[in-house]
A and B are shown apart, each in its own frame.
Chain A
Amino acid sequence: MTISRRGLFTGGAAAIGGAVAGGVAVAALSPDPTAPPIPSPATLVDYGQAIEPFYGNRQSGVETEAQAHGAFVAFTLLPGTDRGALARMMRLLSDDAARLTRGEAPLADTERELAVVPARLTVTFGFGPGLYQAAGLPSPVAPLPAFPQIDKLEERWSGGDLLIQICADDPITVAHAQRMLVKDSRPFATVRWVQRGFRRSAGMEPARQTQRNLLGQLDGTANPASGTPSFGTAVWRADHSTQLVVRRIRAELESWDLLGRTDKENAVGRTLGTGAPLTGVNELDEPDFTKLDATGFPVMPDFSHVTRARQTDDRLKIVRRPYNYDDAPAADGTADCGLVFASYQSDIVRQFIPIQQRLAEKDLLNEWITPIGSAVFEIPPGAPEGGWVGQQVLV
């Protein structure tokens, strides 16, 4: 395949930028004339003191604009943790979360000085099938069916009775919240797995910009935007609950590196530079699946990720809120990175599974991504002021 002119241009710009010392000079060479000006210090946001609410009809951390750092902590309940114990656990953890998200130390915090930078901290609780079983209740969620064409699931990244999703724009805030919540979970549960990830830091890009994953792709373009009716239709049920799928998806960077730029763009159906569909110019342009190229083939290949995942009915869409992970490479340099893929939707069976099935059957991107972990959780409604998450379910 040939290298596109766009690829040449982008590569050239990067080379020029790399040769110029100093961030301002590089920014001045930005190829994007629509980029906002660099804010002066007077307009900088105090990211550290920004607060997201904890109490409310819906849990935060779902429709909340994704923070820079995330930790997904899954637990296995201890045998003695029955419905009464679950209520005590959630009372404790909810109180911790409420205080931490306000930038206050929880009760009995031994490192209370670490609690003073909330940095938009959200703590979101998810209940797995095992939690409902422990409570003697029917579970609204079940593990995903197997996708043998693509799955290489590992036990160490899969399942979980309780999930705590901790997100903030500061990694120390996330670490302290995680430590506090893990300590208070100890009488009830053991840590099953922890998946930590990151996105661009706060202030690095305009808000609501689609995140870029470590394959270099803009990731999440088709997401219903927070605060829109479309988001509400896709995600929230009438009782303010929702459902979460967490998949650990390894990026096969070594084989991805073997592809030319055009092949990479065909696999996804979008350009790497702007994220525009191959039939469009801008990221948010609607793809035209009927458009043919000079040889009579669809410009949007029918094996492309976008073609396979496309969903226009809000009731069938999912909302992706993924975090990148990047662990230490092997001795030979083989990368260990990918996505902590978090998908929110009102109904996993109605929304997530059909999309995943279409992708498993035919999505060229499967060649370079491998699901290695999978877990499902009900996200119960939020806690009323002074209450606790799960009280509508467990009392």
Chain B
Amino acid sequence: MGWTSRMGAGMALALALGGLAACAEDSTAASTPTPSATSTAAPATAGLTVKDPWIKAADTGMTAAFGTLVNGGTTDVTIVSAAASVSPMMELHETTMVNGAMQMQPKQGGFTIPAGGEHVLEPGGDHIMMMGLTTPVKAGDEITVTLTLGDGTTVPFTAVGKPYTGAQESYAPGAHGSAMPEMTGMPSAGAHS
């Protein structure tokens, strides 16, 4: 269906650009602890923190991470990739209007947050796409996501899984904007708990 074909194109584009989020088997474990960031931690060395991070709960398939990227430093920061143990394929996405329907695509060059500025990741807007979930992201789960910056440093943060059914335009950009329920199935309390 529409979602699959568009994602195929998106993934192909991402790979053509150099595999932004490829080979992320478990970047979390491999990431260096500095500079660090969590939802509540003080600004890290690089000045990047992630405020109010959350991930749309999903049992399988695709989901996305949201929050506000806050650059408390004095230089611009560019995020070039993201990784988490639950998803082998993550991309930095933007959402744009294409042929009258909202559609997402990889953000060329990543997210750049100006010095002292903020960058909001939200449904229907920029977000961190998480594909091919290998483990369900259940409601209330705490998931570590690690951002890689342009200079190679990594910034881990913890996002909570939230039940969420909205903003389906960013996940289901069908020809007529129709929703794709298989993508956004209700997360369950789950046998994995």
A195 to B186, CA, bound (A): 26
> Is B6 part of the binding interface, using a Cβ–Cβ cutoff of 8 Å?
no
Interface of chain B, helix or strand or loop or mixed? loop
- Contact pattern, B 43-69, Cβ under 8 Å of A = 1, otherwise 0: 000000000101011000000001000
Which one of B106-114, B156-164, B172-180 contacts A?
B156-164
CB distance from B66 to the nearest CB of A (A): 8
A84 to B52, CA, bound (A): 23
Interface residues on B, range: 20 to 34
Q: Which residue, of A88, A92, A95, A108, has the highest number of chain B Cβ atoms within 10 A?
A: A108
CB <8 Å contact, A92 and B162: yes
> Is B187 part of the binding interface, using a Cβ–Cβ cutoff of 8 Å?
yes
A386 to B39, CA, bound (A): 11
> Is B189 part of the binding interface, using a Cβ–Cβ cutoff of 8 Å?
yes
CB <8 Å contact, B189 and A85: yes
Which one of A30-38, A74-82, A304-312, A338-346 contacts B?
A74-82
> Is A384 part of the binding interface, using a Cβ–Cβ cutoff of 8 Å?
no
CB <8 Å contact, A187 and B160: no
Which one of B27-35, B95-103, B125-133, B137-145 contacts A?
B137-145
B residues with a Cβ closer than 8 A to A are 40, 52, 54, 56-57, 66, 123, 138-142, 160-164, 166, 186-191, 193
> Is A89 part of the binding interface, using a Cβ–Cβ cutoff of 8 Å?
yes
- Contact pattern, A 64-91, Cβ under 8 Å of B = 1, otherwise 0: 0000000000000010111011011111
Q: Which residue of A lies closest to B67 (CB)?
A: A107
> Is A188 part of the binding interface, using a Cβ–Cβ cutoff of 8 Å?
yes
CB <8 Å contact, B40 and A92: no
> Is A184 part of the binding interface, using a Cβ–Cβ cutoff of 8 Å?
yes
A95 to B54, CA, bound (A): 12
A89 to B141, CA, bound (A): 9
CB <8 Å contact, A85 and B193: yes
Interface residues on A, range: 20 to 34
Q: Which residue, of A78, A88, A183, has the highest number of chain B Cβ atoms within 10 A?
A: A88
CB <8 Å contact, B190 and A80: yes
Q: Which of A357-390 contact B (CB under 8 A)?
A: 386
Known contacts A85-B193, A89-B189; 8 further A-B pairs (Cβ under 8 A): A78-B188, A85-B140, A87-B140, A88-B189, A89-B139, A92-B139, A186-B139, A187-B139
A82 to B166, CA, bound (A): 27
> Is A295 part of the binding interface, using a Cβ–Cβ cutoff of 8 Å?
no
Q: Which residue, of B40, B57, B162, has the highest number of chain A Cβ atoms within 10 A?
A: B162
CB <8 Å contact, A186 and B162: no
CB <8 Å contact, B138 and A187: yes
A107 to B163, CA, bound (A): 10
A107 to B65, CA, bound (A): 12
> Is A110 part of the binding interface, using a Cβ–Cβ cutoff of 8 Å?
yes
Are A92 and B140 also in contact (CB < 8 A) when A107-B54, A108-B54 are?
yes
- Contact pattern, A 125-146, Cβ under 8 Å of B = 1, otherwise 0: 0000000000000000000000
